[in-house]
Structure 1
Amino acid sequence: MKCLAILFTFVALSECLVKIPLQREKTRRGMLREKNLLESFQKTHHDIDTEFITTFSKRGRFKKPLKNFQDLTYYGTIYIGTPPQPFKVLFDTGSSSLWVPSIYCKDKACKTHHRFDPRKSSTFQGTEQPFSIKYGKGSMEGIFGLDTVKISNLTISDMEFGLSTRESEYFTKSIYDGILGLGPGRRSSFIDNLMKKGLLEKDEFSVYLSGKTDGSMVIFGGIDQSYFTGRINWIPVKYQWRIAVDSILVNSKKIACRDGCQALLDTGTSLLLGPKSEINQIQQAVGKVRLTFADFLHTHSFNCRNLRKMPNVVFVINGIQYPLTPQAYTHKDNGHCKSGFSSGSKDYDHLILGDMFLREYYSIFDRGNNQVGLAKAV
């Protein structure tokens, strides 16, 4: 799901996973703590009870800074294996799988990036289970494996991830090595793994996307009030991170999504995508434009001097209005201001609210209650 350099639209149907309460382990830990024996127990039994210690001694919130690459991609470095091997990954709420290139991949796209070598990891476990993913632009295939994954000071043992054996040429010039899917999926996704292991203070994560190179953040296990103002508005999730949009307004008039529509909150898409008919109605409503074709995208250009005269585009979600200013829904390119609304290369049946929208609104992805929260970003 990426736009321009990063347009993917892989959407996997999600299945709600049952949260395992792990009451026995919590009671055991509580008893040790009450008797002031927890610390000595952890030191003495580290080798035989590693998962117990890992699961409950680090429960809380974990922050991961992200880099912004030209407003197209938000990525960060993670580590896989023992000793850890570093990888730059795209943090993507629009997909659910974690994968990185492997030494078994001989394609040009793999050779231009870091490749995971399972032979150098003492904790790697092979599964021989194949998988493949097709995105809106680009595809890959590989095999699943299990290993330790570390993000900042958050460590997950026996995390399932993909080792690519084939990658399409599209990934050759990507700034990132692989993709970390933050959406729920049919297989055990990253966020569901954190939940099952009881690592998070709350079964949620939140995202702040900055327009600057630095300053963006993913917070696993909670929120940070310094990244938003006002109240958080909660919205029920249909499936994955899809929500219902009531309508789209320009100058207080419904111009698209008149009977309601669905939208995916997707950190892996740089623009705002949607059905051709809906996108065309938005383009017409904001003013006269010149149609251009960039790569496989269908977009529009504006005279930058007209931005002050152009209207806001307002998304009504669960009864609340979320406006995008002309400065928010356009970007400068070769002296022209190009629209951030696009129908992409195919006719979508839903909206994709990508980074263009999420830079304006701090987003909370509450897996435990199947809802998302939106608040005005600072």
Structure 2
Amino acid sequence: MRLTLATSIVALAVLAAAVPQPAGQRIGIAIPITKRSSLVNADKGVNFDALKSHVAAVKAKIRRGFTNYEKNTGRKHPSDVGGVERRGAGDHLTDDQSILWYGSISVGTPAKSFTVDFDTGSSDLFLPGSGCGSSCSGHTIWDPSSSSTSQDLGQSFFLTYAGGSTVSGEQHTDTVSIAGFSATTQTVGAANTYPPAFQSYQFPADGLMGMAFQSISGYNASPVLQTLVSEGRVSDPVFSFKLSSSGAELYIGGSNPALYTGGFTYTPVTWQGYWEVNIDNVKGNGKTILTNVDAIIDTGTTLIFGISSDVSTLSSTLGGKAAPSVGQGLYTFPCSSFPSISLTFGGKSFPIAASALNLGPVSSGSSDCLSGLVGVDLGNPFWVVGDVFLQGVYTAFDVGNTRVGFAELV
């Protein structure tokens, strides 16, 4: 997936492992999903308003997870050192929620279909509820009273996004199915309000499905994938992604060997909440520049966000130039000679394709192009690794063994 593509439609295959299925387990089916990007203008130059909004949205998401973790566990997340701005220069920007991978799930009895953003950087499932009114116009509405399996928990929720905007509503439990795998007592938020950034022309999915851990849930409830595991619906407690412009898919209940070559290189989750792991080192043009970097693996983030000092060191060592005139933490390289950068997990280095790292020219006809590695203080040390890296690897999220695996794409 090139960020220079305005829209890329790909297939999402959700399959079960080819092993005997215990009672209650089902084989999945293929689900189409869409990857939508708005980081470029019609002239192929970078859309800096969208980029800055995406930065603000990622900051808000991490802060929300830190806040939920402390509320749910009674202690601060170990990576929460106050680096994420609670209020700041970028907070007035609207959320950029148009950069996402989304596909279909069904909820309730009888089942009704909705589209959701699949996000490994958060943990809650919400949909526009029957009381949402005009702020949810254009989205498919979920009416819990129309489902015989829905139960009202009598609890409200408030999920905060960039600029202080919120998604709020009431919590229910219901049956949630993704490609035939059904979580029967899943907590779902029925939103009564959507902020302007969630209007359908910006946010094409109806809602969002978080795929991280319960400790960062605003509901303090089990996420869908963990519910499937705890209810014994899948034979292998793993879900895997190929995020690519060619044959992208999510695989529930294992991994699809037709899409990767060789074995997986696994790295353990260092702290449950996010899918948080250790990057052994970051190499540039074959040279180790950074070591022992803490990071979360996030399908809901397009770029790679690193600690400001890390990104400054890496970019300047490789000949990049800071671009404060277009945005704090942004760096450019000559369009014709982007550096080779790789991330090492579990002792194996995985390269970032130059075509993915290069977001495009800073303006139409410019010889300087913007890097997809952005310096933002998110923790100490705390990187967020998104599509710029993930589109070049096959990624397995192992719920049972709390680890993340990477393999080379076929």
Output the TM-score relative to the length of structure 2.
Answer: 0.70
Q: Runs of at least 4 residues of structure 1 off by over 6 A?
A: none
Q: What is the DSSP-based 3-state SS (H/G/I as helix, E as strand, rest coil) of the residue aligned with 1:246?
A: strand
Distance 1:181 1:132, change over 3 A: same
Alignment pair present for 1:227 and 2:259: yes
Structure 1 counterpart of 2:385:
353
Distance 1:59 1:150, change over 3 A: closer
> Is the Cα–Cα contact under 8 Å of residues 61 and 201 in structure 1 kept in the other structure?
no
Distance 1:63 1:234, change over 3 A: farther
Q: 1:113 aligns with which of 105, 123, 139?
A: 139
Structure 2 counterpart of 1:6:
none
Alignment pair present for 1:77 and 2:104: yes
Please say which of residues 280-289 and 170-179 is displaced more in the overlay: 280-289
Q: Which segments of 5 or more consecutive residues in structure 2 lack a partner in the other structure?
A: 4-20, 39-98, 216-220
Q: 1:368 aligns with which of 400, 405, 410?
A: 400
Q: What is the DSSP-based 3-state SS (H/G/I as helix, E as strand, rest coil) of the residue aligned with 1:56?
A: coil
Distance 1:79 1:206 in 2: 20
> Is the Cα–Cα contact under 8 Å of residues 338 and 358 in structure 2 kept in the other structure?
no
Q: Which amino acid aligns with 1:369?
A: N
Deviations 1:131-169 (A, max 9, x none): 222345653222211112222222332321111123322
Q: What is the DSSP-based 3-state SS (H/G/I as helix, E as strand, rest coil) of the residue aligned with 1:226?
A: helix
> Is the Cα–Cα contact under 8 Å of residues 182 and 228 in structure 2 kept in the other structure?
no
Structure 2 counterpart of 1:311:
339
> Is the Cα–Cα contact under 8 Å of residues 25 and 232 in structure 2 kept in the other structure?
no
Structure 1 counterpart of 2:358:
330
Structure 2 counterpart of 1:339:
371
Alignment of 1:198-347 (within 5 A): 198-212=232-246, 215-238=247-270, 239=272, 240-256=274-290, 258=291, 260-289=292-321, 291=323, 298-304=329-335, 306=336, 309-332=337-360, 335=364, 337-344=369-376, 346-347=377-378
Q: 1:174 aligns with which of 195, 203, 220?
A: 203
| Alpha-carbon offset, residue 107 of structure 1 | 5.7
Q: 1:189 aligns with which of 203, 215, 223?
A: 223
| Alpha-carbon offset, residue 216 of structure 1 | 1.6
Q: Which amino acid aligns with 1:195?
A: V
Deviations 1:4-37 (A, max 9, x none): xxxxxxxxxxxxxxxxxxxxxxxxxxxxxxxxxx
Q: 1:56 aligns with which of 11, 19, 23?
A: 23
| Alpha-carbon offset, residue 111 of structure 1 | 2.3
Identity %: 28
Q: What is the DSSP-based 3-state SS (H/G/I as helix, E as strand, rest coil) of the residue aligned with 1:115?
A: coil
| Alpha-carbon offset, residue 63 of structure 1 | 5.3
Q: Which amino acid aligns with 2:34?
A: K
Please say which of residues 154-163 and 269-278 is displaced more in the overlay: 154-163
Please say which of residues 195-204 and 76-85 is displaced more in the overlay: 76-85
RMSD: 2.6
Distance 1:65 1:100, change over 3 A: same
Q: 2:35 aligns with which of 65, 68, 72?
A: 68
| Alpha-carbon offset, residue 237 of structure 1 | 0.9
Q: What is the DSSP-based 3-state SS (H/G/I as helix, E as strand, rest coil) of the residue aligned with 1:331?
A: strand
Structure 1 counterpart of 2:175:
148
Q: What is the DSSP-based 3-state SS (H/G/I as helix, E as strand, rest coil) of the residue aligned with 2:244?
A: coil
Q: Which amino acid aligns with 1:134?
A: T
> Is the Cα–Cα contact under 8 Å of residues 330 and 339 in structure 1 kept in the other structure?
yes
Q: Which segments of 5 or more consecutive residues in structure 1 lack a partner in the other structure?
A: 4-53
Distance 1:302 1:322 in 2: 21
Alignment of 1:8-87 (within 5 A): 56-59=23-26, 64-70=31-37, 72-87=99-114
> Is the Cα–Cα contact under 8 Å of residues 61 and 221 in structure 1 kept in the other structure?
no
| Alpha-carbon offset, residue 290 of structure 1 | 6.1
> Is the Cα–Cα contact under 8 Å of residues 27 and 180 in structure 2 kept in the other structure?
no
Q: Which has the larger radius of gyration?
A: 1
